[in-house]
Amino acid sequence: MKIESFRTLNAVLRGGSFAAGAADMNLSPSAVSLQMKQMEEYFGQPLFDRSALQVRPNAFAAEVDTVLQEALARLDELRRRSTPAVEGRVRLGTIEPLQVTLLPPLLRKLRERYPLLDVRLERGRATELTERLKKGDIDAAIITQPETGGSSRLSWTPLFRETLVLIAPPESRETRIAELFQQYEWIRFDKTTIGGRLAARYVAQHAPHARCRIDMQSLAALTALVSAGLGVCVLPEPGPNLLNVHPVRVLSLGKQAPYRQISFVCRQADQESRLVQALLEGARP
């Protein structure tokens, strides 16, 4: 039984369904279902109750997961204790919005723990970095995970979610989303990005009358334009650094707000590389 199947089980238990586990592991639901059936054959007993409309994990599934997670944590501890110093050059790709928020703490942590690790940074769009990773031009990337699909040659580890919000000029007074889009022009987050497509779908559903003449990818530029009173925008929530320079009103989109998943990705063949594992350790919140 492959270790990856146990990681899939953990993703299913955390997400509450095969679909959630599939999204977490960047697999198809049918692939997750197959892995779970193979695991049940391996143990000779069911891991899920399939009598209801929705498949639910049973107590044995939770027991298997607990045992494996403890074992994996212990093995990782032994590996770190017995492994020689992490030394060498590694190439890490990141998308532009993470340059300010994620890179400083990541690099600080890596320099403290692995002073001999030479991290070379590359910047680009998620699609570009994914292709460069497949070609071997970079060793790992921290990018927005695709909503569906993905190459079986790549391994995805979720790091955190970025919830989308609506930002409006600081002098605006409207409180309803539809009213803001009636009063102001829509400054659109570039639809060629995953976050931009999520934002566009939300606007199409909640403000189909929205007018748009400006389409940009830079979160800093979008926030600056809104701060200047030129429109409103749906985008991942700006961090305090941006808001201090370009003040805007930040409005929640509610409990059903769309979000983009930021994940660490590397080639399947490089999952156990000490250099790549050091990067992943530094990237974890």
Q: Which CATH number fits domain 162-260: 3.40.190.10, 3.30.70.3000, 1.10.10.10, 3.30.300.30?
A: 3.40.190.10
Do 3-81 and 85-160+261-283 come out as alike in CATH topology? no
Rounded distance between C-alpha atoms, residue 110 and residue 280, angstroms: 10
Give the position of tokens 């985008």.
235
Which residue from 139, 172, 77 is spatially nearest to 275, judged by alpha carbons?
139
> When comparing pLDDT for 147 and 134, which is higher?
134
Tens-digit pLDDT profile for residues 145-196:
988 756 678 999 999 999 999 999 999 999 899 999 999 999 999 999 999 9
| pLDDT score of 81 | 65
Query: What are 253-277's pLDDT values in tens digits?
Result: 998 899 999 999 999 989 889 999 9
Specify the pTM: 0.71
Least confident interval from 23-27, 116-120, 244-248: 23-27
Residue of higher predicted confidence among 174 and 25: 174
Mean pLDDT, residues 69-85 taken together: 74
Going by C-alpha positions, the residue among 58, 119, 68 that lies closest to residue 94 is 119
Span 131-137, average pLDDT: 95
Instruction: Please give the average per-residue pLDDT across 86-113, as a whole number.
Output: 92
Contact 210, 234 (CB under 8 A): no
CATH number of 3-81: 1.10.10.10
Residue 23 or residue 193, greater confidence:
193
Instruction: Please say if the pLDDT value at position 83 is more than 60.
Output: no
Q: Which two tokens stand for residue 83?
A: 């492994």
Name residues whose C-beta falls within 8 Å of residue 36's C-beta, 6 or more positions apart in sequence: 5, 8, 9, 12, 18, 47, 48
Show me where the domains of the chain are located.
3-81, 85-160+261-283, 162-260
CATH topology of domain 85-160+261-283: D-Maltodextrin-Binding Protein; domain 2 (3.40.190)
